[in-house]
Amino acid sequence: MAEPIENEVVDTNTEPEPEQPEQTPVVFGDLLKDKSFQSELGRYVNKALDTAKAKWEKDAQERISKAKTEGEKLAKMSAEERAKAEAEQRVAEILAREEQMNEREAVIMRRELRATALDALEQRGLPAVLADVLNYESAEACNTSIEALEKAFRPAVQTGVDERMKPNLPPKAGGNDAAAAHAAMRAAIGLPPK
């Protein structure tokens, strides 16, 4: 059995909706006048402060326990062992600082190479967005990558320009072109030429 089709009600009332008044921006000071908002804000602030305090206390405890452990180790050592351990610690600190300096120098070098590469790209008439694909490990690597990029980019642009500039002439009606096309189609589908 077929199910009965229910009649759909279509609203033909096309009156525009009444315009809503513009909402004025809420000022934080006005919100603070509301006591319920004050208490809610107070709960959020207290929770954030408690979390930060707990984290700080945990970090402080870890530093204190680490220092105690290190102090106990040093107390158990002889004077010679203690001097050796302190020297090793100083060497480790120096190496860590040196590593940080090397990282900063590498960041600065990449930034300077990028600025130089942007200038080189502009001088060669290449788009600045191509700077994102360059190698900034060294000045030599950067120059090599600029040259390789230019060798690849220029022919690609020329090919694109040539393709767009190629005239799109409509095929000649009648003539040998139509007959040749017809013969080529027949050959393509395996029919003998006429």
pLDDT digits (tens, 9 = 90+) for 41-87: 889 899 999 999 999 999 999 999 988 888 887 778 788 888 888 89
Above 90 in pLDDT, residue 96?
yes
CA distance 154 to 161: 11
pLDDT of residue 180 exceeding 90, the answer is: no
Dist CA 114 CA 135 (whole Å): 9
Average pLDDT for the chain: 82
pLDDT band at 10 (very low <50, low <70, confident <90, very high): low
| pLDDT recorded at residue 8 | 58
Are the C-beta atoms of 31 and 42 separated by less than 8 Å? no
What integer pLDDT is reported at residue 109 of this predicted model? 93
CA dist 134 and 145 (Å) reads 6
Q: Average pLDDT for residues 153-164, to the nearest whole number?
A: 88
Least confident of 5-9, 98-102, 135-139: 5-9
- How is the chain split into domains, by residue range? 50-163
CB 93 within 8 A of CB 85: no
Q: Look up residue 11 and give its two tokens.
A: 């609203």
Q: Look at 19-23, 51-55, 101-105 and tell me which has the smallest mean pLDDT.
A: 19-23
pLDDT at 176: 60
Rounded Cα–Cα distance for residues 72 and 69 (Å): 5
**pLDDT(4) > 60:** no
pLDDT at 138 over 70: yes
Q: Give the helix/strand (H/E) hosting 61.
A: helix 35-76
- 23 band by pLDDT with thresholds 50, 70 and 90: confident
**Residue bearing the bigger pLDDT, 124 or 191:** 124
Work out the pLDDT band at 25, boundaries 50, 70, 90. confident
pLDDT for the residue 122: 93
The predicted pLDDT at position 163 comes to 85
